[in-house]
Each structure stands twice: as structure tokens, then as C-alpha cells.
Structure 1
């Protein structure tokens, strides 16, 4: 793997630090997210029995949800500690450590992919390269579901759940993300925005479903 940027090292270290708390607090989040579940069901249908990638899988809860509904899933995360927890919690799912800019996967390996709140840790000029890498690992016609916090600010955390961290959260605009997807060779087929739920951080959320253009 190419040398990791300083920003990615900060992200990796921060998520290694909070991994256990993240699993405890967020590992069951799909139970109160009907919109997310509905969109993930679309991804399952689009995959048509092919392998689904969970890019930025964290402790594996989304990958586990997909696998429980019959999908073959590969979860990929920058944080080795997250990958360790994901393997422990979901032993029937394959997990790999890897960077969104250089995914540990073969060309066209996946029928579909999801990237839920993982691109928010990329720098603005890394979005298009990350989407190009996602396109590389998708088969022709494969779909990618991306979600993110809506806005234009950057929120830096130096403390998270009483742990010292150093991580940036980039709030993104739907049109800007759609433009980066188009640059990377995707056609956006659906877009959705919603308000935050009581169980979530108080941010508005954006979703884009895009298909690999061939």
C-alpha cells in the first residue's frame, strides 16, 4: 500500500482509540434507521446475489445486516481495531484493513458497495480519487450508495467519548458529492436528504445512489 497521508494516520488512530465505544453506542443504529434500511435493501436487490463491499465498515454492523439478509459481504476499514472487532462480532463476514484511496480488492470484485459516513473523513480533493477507486472495484453497472452529513463546515474533534483523538468531520453538499461521483465515472440515479433522528447526532443527512458508467 502507498504511504498513508498524515490525515489518514490521524483518522486511523482516532478510530482505533474509540472502537469499543463506537461498537457499543453505534453498533445497533440500523434498528432506528428505516431510511437507511430501505436504501440498503435497494443495494441488495441491485447486487443480484453478487458480493457487496462495505467501505469504511467500522465494527461491521452494516456488513452484518447485509449478510443476515443473504448477501456475501466484504467489509473494509482503515482502522485495524475496527476490523478486529468486526471479525469478532460477525465471524461469517470477511473483513479487510484498507484505505479508501487504495482498496485491498481486485478490479470488478464487487457487484455493489456502500460507503456510509466514511467519505466525511477525506479531504475535499480526495473525494474524486476515492470514488474512482470504488468504481475500479465494482463490476460494470455496479452501484454505490454514499451517505454523509450535509453542510459546508469541518468539525475537528480532539476529544471523543472521553478519549483523546484528532479527527476531522467534513460536512458535504449533495451537489458537490454528485459532481465528484460524475468525475469518477458514476451516474447518480437517486438522491435523498433527511433530518437527523432523535437517536443520532443533530445533523441533516444526504444519500446518493450512483451506478458505474461504462
Structure 2
């Protein structure tokens, strides 16, 4: 789903009131009323980006393709950082390449807004269990290799509130996390499990690390916000020690490459993951179908992988 930002004013009291009505109509799936009210808002406040985004999304639901694209593009012009996430909508409408749909600014805004309710919503409402599945897969991978399931320096990519750190508690001599969202990092800090936390995009974070320094790199449900993973694999391989492990989850795509799903997340194909492993000299230890979460009570298909340098 697109990002729902906290309320902000257009600068016009009447426009604000109509925008609230438009948002309520959209939430109730009365897209015709939502579009009409959004148009009224824009007559009063034409540069109010949230109303342009709402008009675009409502028009898209009504199959008013040209109006939808025009409104969404205007929203993006008004807010180029795209904290409203309209690039996702434009990509769905074929007006933007799929690999350009999700920006760092959008992810940061999404999770800053999500942080206060993240753990409860993810684990209770969505039955999320990605970190537990990764921790179990690491134990199985170590058992296959007849090695102790304990690690030195571990890098947690997209660490969020620290759920992955909690699943690895006691298994790592040193744990360092990176995430785009400062509010999520505040939550992770409170776990007292991390030796250091960095506000950073994960490829940039990896590029700042030393060659061959890590025993383990983990990424729990992080790649759903990334299209191509080539650079991530390359940098992960570089920072791993010999026989170091790379464990992650993705949403599943039955074809090759990646696709942007209706849930505004990327899904990756098994053949694509295997190709990246081969190109980067990583041995696939485990690559299996799992579901890390539910969507409206239905398991979301995914892959769980453990690869070794």
C-alpha cells in the first residue's frame, strides 16, 4: 500500500477539510467521491501534493489512466523526494520503470511513520517470522558444514527495530546494524544488542566496510524494497570472510529477475538469486520456499536463502 503520511495542512482550512473527506472516501473505496473531492481540494490549493497523489490514485482505480498519470506526475514534481510514494503508482501504470519505483526517501518516511507500531503490527497482525526462519536456517546450514553456529562480526542489513538481532542473540560476538529510518534505529538501540547502529542505505553501508571482515551478513525482508540486487551481492561477498555466510529472505517471483507487486514490494525469482550467487562466487547452502508474513490472512510466498563465500 502507498504511504499514508501524517496530516499536514494545505494552508487553506476549507481545502484541508475536503481533503480529509476525500481520504475517508478513498479508504472506504468510494473512488468516485474521493476523486471529486480531491479535484475540489486542488481548485483551492493546486500545489498541495497529497491531494494530487490522492486524485491520481483515485483516478487509477476508476481507470482514468491519463488523469491518474498527470496528477501523480504533478505530485512528484511538487515533492521530488517522493515521501508520498507516487513513483510506485506511476510504475504500476507503466509511466515509470519498475526498478525506479521505490526511493530511499520513501522507505525512510514509510518506516519512520511505521516505527511506533512496527513490532506489534508485524508479529501480531501479519504473523511475521522472518528473523526466526533465518536463525533456524543458519543453524541448519552450520550443521550441514559440521561447524559451530556462532559468528564473529555480523552485519544486519535493514535492521529495523532489532527483531533480527533478537533472533541472533547469543550467536554473534559483535553485531552492527544499518537502516534508513532513524526512528527504527531508536527502537533497535533500546534492545542493547547492537555494538553499533548506522543510519544508511545498505549498499552504501557495505561499501564503507572492510574487505573480509564479517562472518555473517543477514537481511530479513529488506530486499522487498530493492529491485536489482547485483551490487548488494557483490559488496556482501567482498565484506565476508572465507566461508562466511549470507542469509536473507525475499518475496517470491515465479519468473526471472524481479517484479514490483501490487503490495508495493519487489519479488525476486529463484533463477535470478542463483545467477547472482554464481556470478559472485557464493555457494548456495539453502534456498527454499517459505512465507515470512501474511497479507489479509494469506501467506505471502517467498524464498529463504543461506549462501557461503
Q: Per-residue deviation at 1:210?
A: 0.9
* The one of 224, 227, 230 aligned to 1:123: 227
Whether contact under 8 Å (2:248, 2:305) holds in the other structure is: yes
Look up the match of 1:155. Answer: 261
Look up the match of 1:164. Answer: none
> Higher strand proportion, which one?
1
Larger Rg: 2
**Normalization by structure 1: what TM-score?**
0.76
- DSSP 3-state at the match of 1:67: coil
Give the paired residue count.
195
**Normalization by structure 2: what TM-score?**
0.55
* The one of 56, 61, 64 aligned to 2:166: 64
Correspondence 1:1-214 to 2 at 5 A: 7-26=103-122, 35-42=133-140, 48-69=150-171, 71-88=173-190, 90-94=191-195, 95-103=197-205, 104-124=208-228, 127-151=229-253, 153-155=259-261, 168-195=264-291, 202-212=299-309
- DSSP 3-state at the match of 1:172: strand
How much is the aligned-residue C-alpha RMSD, in angstroms? 3.0
Q: CA 1:101/1:111 → structure 2, altered by over 3 Å: closer, same or farther?
A: same
Q: Per-residue deviation at 1:92?
A: 3.5
Deviations 1:158-194 (A, max 9, x none): xxxxxxxxxx410111221221232233221221113
Q: Distance in 2 between matches of 1:33 and 1:56?
A: 12
Q: Distance in 2 between matches of 1:36 and 1:174?
A: 17
Relative contact order higher in (CA < 8 Å, ≥ 6 apart): 1
Whether contact under 8 Å (1:155, 1:169) holds in the other structure is: yes
Whether contact under 8 Å (1:110, 1:137) holds in the other structure is: yes
Q: Distance in 2 between matches of 1:46 and 1:100?
A: 28
Q: Distance in 2 between matches of 1:98 and 1:139?
A: 22
> Higher helix proportion, which one?
2
Whether contact under 8 Å (2:219, 2:248) holds in the other structure is: yes
